[in-house]
Amino acid sequence: MKNLIIIACLAIGFNTFAQNDKQAETLLDEVSTKIKNYENISLDFKYELNNISENISQETRGDVVIASDKYKLNILGITRIFDGKTLYTISPEDEEVTISTDNTEDESTITPSKMLSFYEDGYSYKMDIIQNVKGRKIQYVKLTPMDTNSEIKHVLLGVDATTKHIYNLIEVGKNGTKTTLTVNSFKTDQPISKTLFTFDKSKYSDYFINNID
């Protein structure tokens, strides 16, 4: 799931390293400045996973609403609600709700609440190619993990040069797996319910509640 949750990778801030491309740093800073002023972000996205050697190909769609460190994510028939303290994973197919404390110390798990700052530490970056996508100028930034033991070979972050919003993200793993997340709809400061990030236990009285903490 960790690759799946790297949806937009919108930076709130990041450290500067000597090897970083100044143009890339400026672009990411522009994205950061714009994103951190939004009250909330709503994304509809497409997720693709491919590994030719393993004959794996998967494509699905999902959506997520993020406000500060809270989020509600719908993907693969499962809903994940994080209220800032507790993560609720709701599986209608299994009629089960798993309740846990979000493991923010596990750097290998990138959750929606982290996606706004996933490359704040641990990546070097430089400008990459520019592509014209349906009339949109997409500038890619190549991010390379500084940890040589990382399972990630590199990440390509596509930024719309006009809006300074994330268009897509392509993660290439050392095992040959390529994960692509493309933002189909990017909305900000939408009116959202005060209970959007609240888990209502009464709605799941027939579900098995699995509290793993």
For the beta carbon of residue 187, count every other beta carbon within 10 angstroms: 12
Q: Is residue 150 in a domain?
A: yes
Q: Is residue 6 in a domain?
A: no
Q: Is residue 4 in a domain?
A: no
Rounded Cα distance between 83 and 143, Å, is 30
Q: How many domains does the chain have?
A: 1
Q: Is the pLDDT of residue 164 over 50?
A: yes
Is residue 84 within 8 A of residue 70, CB to CB? The reply is yes
CATH (domain of 146): 2.50.20.10
Tokens of 60: 């699905």
Tens-place pLDDT, residues 121-133: 678 889 999 999 9
Lowest mean pLDDT among 24-38, 53-67, 137-151: 24-38
Q: Is residue 74 in a domain?
A: yes
Lowest mean pLDDT among 10-14, 69-73, 204-208: 10-14
pTM, two decimals, is 0.79
Q: Is residue 119 in a domain?
A: yes
